[in-house]
Chain A
Amino acid sequence: MLKQTEGSHAVAEAVALCRPEVICAYPISPQTHIVEGLGEMVKSGALARCEFINVESEFAAMSVAIGASAAGARAYTATASQGLLYMAEAVFNASGLGLPIVMTVANRAIGAPINIWNDHSDAMSQRDCGWIQLFAENNQEALDLHVQAFRLGEELSLPVMVCMDGFILTHAYERVDVPTQAQVDAYLPPYQPRQVLDPAEPVSIGAMVGPEAFMEVRYLAHAKQMRALELIPGWAEEFRQAFGRDSGGLLHTYRTEDADTIVVALGSVLGTIKDTVDDLRRDGARIGVLGITCFRPWPLAAARAALSNAKRIVVVEKSLAVGLGGIVSSNVRTSFTGSPDAVHAVIAGLGGRSITKASLARVFRAAQAGALEPLTFLDLDRALVERALAREREQRRSGPIAENILRDLGVVAAKAG
């Protein structure tokens, strides 16, 4: 059924249609509306046979999800930002144990400085935690990816993180097609765990493994993710046939057939990038887009095929590996057979900075003219940076950077924009 609704609400409905049996939650913006919505559905009885557990922290949220999943329940939680960091130890345990928990990450920056706005720092900080990581381009895809995530995770016995841009998607009202219960039931069979804590057939889960076999257990985790690369395209195709929508999969290309420049990105910024590319195409530019839906496992071969004819690549990414540059672009370089110098990282939208068509068009034109640096910070206020650097040169006790910069800007409190 078509609906005009908030992204968080659409995701809550999708999760409910997947018949979760345990939902544990600790509130943190911008994720909170999702678990609030699910909590209401459990309380009203609309979501039956499901236990909603308010926990005392994100660490507890993931720990409860681990316990529930190990007991054979379909388990779900959601978090963001510092919440994801706080549960990090348990996040690694969930994947290490092979428990197919599904978690929404409503992507948000990580402090300090404190910032509640969107970027991908949270999900990227956990990119090597062993979870499958999927990124939604819009709210329809966010909804659809949750349905696929339970299927994917349970088939492989791996947890799945569905990443959606905080605020930009979670708080946006747009049109979504909400599937019927019968459609979801037909796509997603009941959970049949490979391992379960069952008093009738006692086992223990979580052994200590020493040097004699730790490598093998880790190898098997990697092999499982490689297996996911083989299975995901087929499941996305099955989804397309069942639901009539092209959602999920490893990646999506847009106008790349004859493109000499390909822009690579994850998440909701792909929409703005596609509109920008349409404008540049009207001016005769041969430019296309590669959207990465599945970031972990990294779709090495599929991305390599999609990029094979490109002369230059611009990776627009909402995260920064301090001391290196781009994270996504480092992954993209492994999939590009041309010169590594042809892969440009554009760090954009950190901490909620707006990514505009005008700014994107400027960097894409620069790339096509061969004038784009290997690493660019989109719309960086260079004068502000210089002032801070000058202050540090001039005095030893130059003070806290964040407070000084806000004073330079003349703002009394952080604001969006």
Chain B
Amino acid sequence: MFQIRIHGRGGQGVVTAAEMLSIAAFREGRHAQAFPSFGSERTGAPVVAFCRLDDREIRLREPVLEPDALIIQDPTLLHQVDVFGGLSRKGYILINTTRSFDALGVGDFARSLRIERLCTVPATELALKHVGRPVPNAALLGGFAALTKRISLDSVAAAIREKFSGKVAEGNVAAASAAYEHLTSGMREATHAEAD
């Protein structure tokens, strides 16, 4: 089982991101479970959503306590919420930011992990460019596909089109593709090539 925890703020599409991720995995024939950490939804309040992927039926209903991957939609949460809680040493981290892990003040923590599994992507900027609104969720799913290779970009695009339609869908697909490209070209340039 592969477990993902998504942190963000109300209004950033955190819950929708987890749902779309589960749809993408379902389209690849896998079992997937997505659910929010339930609360009184308020714009701007910290929000968490979870997604589990597996090749068999998922029965577990506890929140994701030991994630294999973290998607952080809002870097201002890094010092407010225990976003890294329970993360595996081999875990993936994807942060929506234009800054480095060091500049975000989490450089030391990052160096205790597998560096090739840590990435940043300017998802808000990509969303503003392609969607016209600062909603980074779809772009981050494109980035997640590139970083973890757990799902294909095509499946992410199909999931976005299942959730949205028309211009909104196509803008989000473009943002996801741009984030995917941003990370794959970045990873090609990177010198580290540690195998899984």
Which residues of A lie under 8 Å from residue B43 when comparing CB positions? none
- Is A290 on the interface with B (CB-CB < 8 A)? no
Which residues of A lie under 8 Å from residue B26 when comparing CB positions? 2, 4, 175
- From B19, B22, B32, B60, contact of A271 by CB (8 A): B60
* Interface-centre pick from A116, A271, A274 (highest chain B CB count, 10 A): A271
B65 and A275 contacting across the interface, CB-CB below 8 Å? no
Which residues of B lie under 8 Å from residue A354 when comparing CB positions? 62-63
- From B31, B32, B37, B61, contact of A417 by CB (8 A): B37
Q: Shortest CB–CB separation between residue B132 and chain A, in angstroms?
A: 27
A269 and B61 contacting across the interface, CB-CB below 8 Å? yes
Which residues of B lie under 8 Å from residue A275 when comparing CB positions? 59-60
B22 and A174 contacting across the interface, CB-CB below 8 Å? yes
Q: 1/0 per residue A311-336: CB within 8 Å of B?
A: 00000000000000000000000000
Question: Across the two chains, which residue of chain B brings its CB closest to A278?
Answer: B59
* Interface-centre pick from B31, B35, B60 (highest chain A CB count, 10 A): B35
- Is A22 on the interface with B (CB-CB < 8 A)? no
Q: Shortest CB–CB separation between residue A378 and chain B, in angstroms?
A: 12
- From B22, B59, B62, B65, contact of A274 by CB (8 A): B59
Interface positions, chain A 140-177, Cβ under 8 Å from B, are: 167-168, 171-175
- Is B38 on the interface with A (CB-CB < 8 A)? yes
B61 and A416 contacting across the interface, CB-CB below 8 Å? no
Q: Shortest CB–CB separation between residue A244 and chain B, in angstroms?
A: 15
A167 and B59 contacting across the interface, CB-CB below 8 Å? no
Which residues of B lie under 8 Å from residue A355 when comparing CB positions? 61-62
A357 and B60 contacting across the interface, CB-CB below 8 Å? yes
- From B19, B31, B59, B60, contact of A175 by CB (8 A): B31
Q: A352-B38, A415-B39 are in contact. Are A173 and B33 (CB under 8 A)?
A: yes
Q: Shortest CB–CB separation between residue A268 and chain B, in angstroms?
A: 5
Which residues of A lie under 8 Å from residue B40 when comparing CB positions? 116, 413-414
Which residues of A lie under 8 Å from residue B59 when comparing CB positions? 138, 270-272, 274-275
A175 and B65 contacting across the interface, CB-CB below 8 Å? no
- Is B34 on the interface with A (CB-CB < 8 A)? yes
Question: Across the two chains, which residue of chain A brings its CB closest to B1?
Answer: A275
Which residues of A lie under 8 Å from residue B34 when comparing CB positions? 172-174
- Is B75 on the interface with A (CB-CB < 8 A)? no
- Is B23 on the interface with A (CB-CB < 8 A)? yes
Which residues of A lie under 8 Å from residue B38 when comparing CB positions? 30, 116-118, 167, 171, 352, 416
A356 and B62 contacting across the interface, CB-CB below 8 Å? yes
Which residues of A lie under 8 Å from residue B37 when comparing CB positions? 416-417
Q: A416-B39, A417-B63 are in contact. Are A174 and B58 (CB under 8 A)?
A: yes
Question: Across the two chains, which residue of chain A brings its CB closest to B35?
Answer: A172
B32 and A174 contacting across the interface, CB-CB below 8 Å? yes
- Is A6 on the interface with B (CB-CB < 8 A)? yes
Which residues of B lie under 8 Å from residue A272 when comparing CB positions? 59-62
* Interface-centre pick from A173, A275, A416 (highest chain B CB count, 10 A): A173
- From B32, B39, B61, contact of A173 by CB (8 A): B32
- Is B36 on the interface with A (CB-CB < 8 A)? yes
Interface positions, chain A 341-387, Cβ under 8 Å from B, are: 352, 354-357
Binding site for A on B (CB under 8 A): 18-19, 22-23, 26-27, 31-40, 58-63, 65
A-B CB proximity, top 4 nearest: A271-B59, A4-B26, A173-B34, A167-B38
Question: Can you spell out 15 A-B residue pairs with CB atoms less than 8 angstroms apart?
Answer: A2-B26, A4-B22, A6-B19, A171-B35, A173-B19, A174-B22, A174-B58, A270-B59, A275-B59, A354-B62, A355-B61, A357-B62, A413-B40, A416-B38, A417-B63
With A173-B19, A415-B39 known, 19 other A-B pairs at CB within 8 A are A4-B27, A4-B32, A30-B38, A118-B38, A171-B38, A172-B34, A173-B18, A173-B34, A174-B22, A174-B33, A175-B26, A270-B59, A271-B59, A271-B61, A355-B61, A355-B62, A413-B40, A414-B40, A417-B63
